[in-house]
Amino acid sequence: MSKSKTAAIVLAAGMGTRMKSALPKVMHPVAGRPMVNHLLATVQTLGVDRTVVVVGPDMDGLRRAVAPHATVEQTDRLGTAHAVAQARPELDGFDGDVLVLYGDTPLISAETLARMLEARRAVPAPAVVVLGFRPDQPGSYGRLVMGGDGLEAIVEAKDATPEQLAIPLCNSGVMCIDGARLFGLLDRVGNANAKGEYYLTDIVALARADGLPCAVVEGDEAELLGVNSRTELAVAEGIVQARLRRAATDGGATLTAPETVFFSHDTRLGRDVSVGPFVTFGPGVTIGDGVEIKGFCHFEDCTVGDGVILGPYARLRPGAEVRNGAHIGNFVEIKKAVVEDGAKVNHLTYIGDARVGAGANIGAGTITCNYDGFLKHHTDIGAGAFIGSNSALVAPVRIGDGAIVGAGSVVTRDVEANALTVARGEQVSRNGWAIRFRERMAALKNQRKKEA
């Protein structure tokens, strides 16, 4: 194969005991997507030819999440070199560049990985390129010992001399390796250490002993954050949210209180969108141009057209489609329904499994009764229809164009276009009854006081 080809091995077999979870560590979400999928999306932008994900036993959910990429199983967790070696069957005969990455490091940038590939391909074509960084607190990170001709060694902190501990350049674990030499180096890695594990870092010393050069590319500490606990997961979420907020404002959106707005990795906002405080975008949300989103709204898997007004306290659930110029007001929930151009659903309403026609007006407290305890049914509200407040539309039912449903109605049959339907109990009035009622109850209350 041509040396310009690239493969990626993603190590994802760890359960992450500090997460205290039955979910594999790399499956914990950041901005609505498993952290391993953040990394895979970044790798994809590099045009990588093959990607192999190393998983642990009984991680079928992880296998599905990373599909269609190949997966191999590390049954016995015997160290990082052992994990990389499991990818041998998938990379048999591959002699391009191999990136070794970690599924719990979701923030690494494509630009950094591209610089590593450039360094691998540049003279003197180092056998191993290590990604280093300079943390504020080096602590237990391995140190990168540099010499006149590049990287000389990686020294673990516990094995380092005081002079080596003073080195500010640390090992992130990420590497770019000559694929023609990778598995030959791995075959020579031993496990004569306190843990009895096979460490990938040992290949640097092995390559140097063979007279092969090794090199270092530096990255930022923030992008190399490894997520090993719920606390670190929250830190990663904060970093990603800051990036997404910046991207939203750079793209032409106004965020009134950016620190209170939460995005998903795939949120799409049009130009001149305004977003009030405490708004949450779940996965799969697309917002058109000129949309006003008031505070405390929640959206997931929905589409919003141009010039729409939403909220406050509006909720768009999966399958909601709100078209141009529509209004969705306070405490309104839309689920698997289309609200067409210019329609208004302004107050305290649930619209589920329905169509609301263009220009229709839905009164406060309206409910589309879409579920009979077994099946979901559809409600169709025609263009220009008016649904009075506190009405219940029992699906399946159709309200024709221009029809009016009187307030408080329970509609169980179709309504013709431009008809008036009132479906409620008859109002009965008894003049003077209230006075007599109050007098009778006051007398009864007094009598009980005397008896007490």
The secondary structure of 195-230 as a DSSP string is T----TTHHHHHHHHTT--EEEEE--TGGG----SH
Angle between helices 202-209 and 179-187 (to 10 degrees): 100
Asked, for residue 78, whether it belongs to a domain, the answer is: yes
In a domain, 401, yes or no: yes
- Mean pLDDT, rounded, for 382-397: 98
190, 262: one domain: no
Report how far residue 316's alpha carbon sits from residue 301's, in angstroms, rounded to the nearest whole number. 8
Query: Given 38, 69, 82, 347, which residue is catalytic?
Result: 347
**pLDDT for the residue 15:** 83
**Confidence category of residue 195, pLDDT binned at 50, 70, 90:** confident
* pLDDT higher than threshold 60 for residue 3: no
50 and 196 in a single domain? The answer is yes
At 99 the pLDDT is: 98
pTM summary value: 0.90
When pLDDT is averaged across residues 64-70 and rounded to a whole number, the result is 97
Each residue's pLDDT tens digit, 400-441: 999 999 999 999 999 999 999 999 988 899 999 999 999 999
Angle (nearest 5°) at CA 84 between 82 and 90: 125
Same domain flag for 318 and 286: yes
Say if 348 falls within a structural domain.
yes
CATH of the domain at 386: 2.160.10.10
In a domain, 434, yes or no: no
Which amino acids are annotated as binding site for Mg(2+), given as ranges?
Answer: 104, 228
Give a yes or no: residue 367 inside a domain: yes
Q: How many domains does the chain have?
A: 2
- Same domain, yes or no, for 416 and 331? yes
Residue 14 banded pLDDT, cuts 50, 70, 90: confident
Binding site for acetyl-CoA, residues? Answer: 364, 370-371, 389, 407, 424
At residue 205, φ and ψ (nearest 5 deg) are: -65, -40
Q: What percent of the chain has pLDDT over 70?
A: 99
> Cβ-count burial of 2 within 10 angstroms (0-12 exposed, 13-18 middle, 19+ buried)?
exposed
- End of a domain among 224, 257, 288? 224
Query: Range of 172's domain?
Result: 6-224
Phi then psi for residue 263, to 5 deg, are: -110, 160
Please tell me whether residues 210 and 102 are part of one structural domain: yes
- Residue recorded with tokens 């509200």: 381
- Which CATH number do you get for residue 45? 3.90.550.10
Whole-angstrom distance, CA of residue 238 vs CA of residue 244: 10
Residues 6 or more apart in contact with residue 450 via CB below 8 angstroms: none
Annotated binding site: 11-14, 25, 74, 79-80, 102-104, 142, 156, 171, 228, 317, 335, 350, 361, 364, 370-371, 389, 407, 424
The pLDDT tens digits of the residues spanning 75-100 come to 999 999 999 999 999 998 899 999 99
Q: What is the pLDDT of residue 194?
A: 79
Which among 224, 259, 293 is the end of a domain?
224
- Whether residues 217 and 82 share a domain: the answer is yes
Are residues 177 and 280 both part of a single domain?
Answer: no
Same-domain status, 202 and 351: no
Q: Which two tokens stand for residue 272?
A: 């001149």
**Domain check: are 256 and 218 in the same one?**
no
Active site residue 265: no
- What pLDDT does residue 2 have? 42
pLDDT band of 1, cuts 50, 70, 90 = very low
- 121 and 267: one domain? no
How much is the pLDDT for 159? 85
Q: Tell me, yes or no, whether 212 and 361 share the same domain.
A: no
Mean pLDDT of the residues in the chain: 96
In a domain, 340, yes or no: yes
Q: Is residue 93 part of a domain?
A: yes
Q: Residues near 124 by Cβ (< 8 Å), separated by ≥ 6?
A: 213
DSSP letters spanning 129-172: EEEEE--S--TTSPEEEEETTEEEEEE-GGG--HHHHT---EEE
Are residues 404 and 261 part of one domain? Answer: yes
Count Cβ neighbours within 10 Å for each residue of 31-69 and write b for 16 or more, e otherwise.
bbbbbbbbbbebbeeeebebbbbbbbeebeebeebbeeb
Binding residue ranges for UDP-N-acetyl-alpha-D-glucosamine: 11-14, 25, 74, 79-80, 102-104, 142, 156, 171, 228, 317, 335, 350, 361
- Tell which of 192, 224, 256 closes a domain: 224
In this structure, is residue 428 part of a structural domain? Answer: no
